[in-house]
Chains A and B, each alone.
Chain A
Amino acid sequence: MSDASPRLDIATAPFLHRGLDTRRLMLEVLLSLAPVVVAAAWFFGVGALLIVAASSAGAVATEWVFHRGHRGHRGLGSLADGSALLTGVLLALTLPPSVPIWMAFAGGVVGVALGKTIWGGLGQNLFNPALVGRAFLQAAFPAALTTWTAPGQGFLDVASSTVAAPFAHGAVDVTTTATPLGMAKFEGKLTALAPMLFGNTGGSLGETSALILVLCGLYLLARRAFDWRLPASTLLTVAVVAEAMHWLDPQHNPGALFMLLSGGLMFGAVFMVTDPVTTPITPRGAWIYGLGVGVLVVLIRLYGGLPEGVMYAILLMNGATPLINRVTQPRRYGG
């Protein structure tokens, strides 16, 4: 034929796409973390930024070493998907403000290496990489990971422990405090709601301001970045179980509101319980998963040795996720 066909591209259906994109999703979550990082710096000074930078550097460097060969954008390898950076930032925000930056770096390395690389990289890991990094740090350096500095000290005051030389321990020479959960557990004192909402309490870098976290969560929800069932069932379970326990023994067990706003629960519910990779894939599974996390959180907080249990609750339910996926495998259509 003379009027030759135009050069036509060949591809297979579908030719339309919903427009969601994994890389954008990761960026979206990173973006929503910006206010959390700013709040951390506001309450805990520049040290917070150093820790975020160190942990991200550890995570990103590890990803780069192991996955630079992967197909990817502009020679970035698998770094391009942004998940390694996200892991680093999330890990940093779960660390105490006085943690040595070398530990933060080590946590980033372990999180990505043990939490992700050995499983085959993005999407194949079964445990939350940021929390694997944190659990490692907590078991390795339990003292450093349970020392809490008070918020609102000078912006430029960096605890000398923060800048301790690699592998060395450092003195915590700024005022320390107890977290609201620690106070509730070991001293029987409840923290007022306002500080827990706004964030001027002791605690991990990113977890102290429940208000900012709720707003981040709403933003991500609006952007459809996660399956809403996961945080919903987690928070709902904590509220219901905590309130029931409070009703049984008001003397020892704080009520639902305190439980929801204190500790890492809100941070975990918005950023970690929602990690698509390490949570059940089925909608029914999401409910079960949240239920499990919620029950374990209350169990550890009220009856465990540790004042806070969000990290362990999530890791344990990560471990149970394959089982949950199995039992909630969709039934056969029409059968």
Chain B
Amino acid sequence: MDLVWIFVSASLINNFTLAYFLGLCPFFGVTGRIVTAFRLGLANIFVMLITAVATWILNTFVLPYAPYLRLISFIVVIASTVQFVEMAIKKLSPALFRALGIFLPLITTNCAILGFALFATNRGYGLIQSLVYALGAGVGLMLALVLMAGIREENELATVPRILRGAAMSFFVAGILSMAFMGFAGLFHGK
């Protein structure tokens, strides 16, 4: 299937957060500030790319022989690969580590990452397709995070009714954003 469509579908049409409800924790929890949300989004893209490679390897070379290990191996391999890469970054680029490092443990096995791994393998994507899918899912997640952070920052100055403050308001905002993202439906569908 066309890579453009994989990307657009993962990032906009079937946005992980706004259409699949994945990554809601950071979406509601870490979106107080735009900069934080942006960095978290970057870290997420990064972990997804690693996950794409790791799960592709597992899926191609290991799981055909032991399909029942899928879930456990995904979790273990994603977590340990990310930890390994984290240590590598710490050595190679302390600046990058400072920007993204603190988020890595937070997201290594959150539902968005694991969901990505499961979806990518369910769809039978090859390595390149997986990587594009990871990029799309990650960019979409970052978009949702950053938009939400902006809205939250602005909303802090508003006089939101008391019973709506907190979770309820966040869900309504997510609902509106999710409606707005429906405009992307069918984008590049001919591809």
Contact = CB atoms under 8 A, between A and B. Distances in A.
A217 interface: no
Interface in A309-335: 309, 311-313, 315-316, 318-323, 325-326
A126 B151 contact: yes
Nearest to A304: B187
B179 A305 contact: no
A127 B176 contact: yes
Interface of chain A: mostly helix, strand, loop or mixed:
helix
Given A136-B179, A139-B179, A319-B177, A299 B187 contact: yes
A306 interface: yes
- 8 smallest CB-CB distances across A and B, nearest first, come from A305-B186, A312-B183, A322-B150, A124-B158, A315-B180, A322-B154, A120-B159, A323-B150
Question: For the side of the interface on B, what is the size category?
Answer: 20 to 34
Given A132-B179, A319-B177, 10 more contacts: A126-B151, A132-B176, A300-B184, A303-B187, A306-B183, A306-B185, A309-B183, A312-B184, A313-B183, A322-B154
Question: Which of B159, B172, B175, B180 gathers most chain A CB within 10 Å?
Answer: B180
19 contacts: A114-B175, A115-B176, A118-B164, A118-B169, A120-B159, A120-B160, A121-B159, A124-B159, A124-B160, A135-B176, A138-B182, A300-B184, A303-B187, A304-B186, A305-B185, A313-B183, A315-B176, A315-B180, A316-B183
A177 interface: no
Contacts of B187: 299-300, 303-305
A322 B151 contact: yes
B158 to A, nearest CB: 4
A114 B155 contact: no
A120 B159 CA distance: 5
Residues of A in contact with B, size category: 35 or more
A316 B183 CA distance: 9
Contact of B183 (A117, A315, A325): A315
Contact of A120 (B147, B161, B186): B161
A119 interface: yes
Interface of B: 34, 146-147, 150-151, 153-155, 158-161, 164, 169, 172, 175-177, 179-189
A304 to B, nearest CB: 5
Interface of A: 114-115, 117-121, 124, 126-127, 132, 135-136, 138-139, 296, 299-300, 303-306, 309, 311-313, 315-316, 318-323, 325-326
Contacts, number: 93
A195 B112 CA distance: 49
A311 B182 CA distance: 11
Given A135-B180, A299-B187, A326-B34, A126 B154 contact: yes
A299 B8 CA distance: 12
Contacts of B147: 319-320, 323
A321 B160 CA distance: 18
B153 to A, nearest CB: 6
A114 B168 CA distance: 12
Could you say which of A299, A309, A312, A325 has the most chain B C-beta atoms within 10 Å of its C-beta?
A312
Contacts of B158: 119-120, 124
Nearest to B4: A303
Contacts of A318: 180
Contacts of A119: 155, 158, 160
B180 A303 contact: no
A223 B35 CA distance: 39
Contact of B161 (A118, A300, A319): A118
B85 to A, nearest CB: 29
Nearest to B187: A304
A312 B146 CA distance: 18
A136 B178 CA distance: 10
A306 B161 CA distance: 35
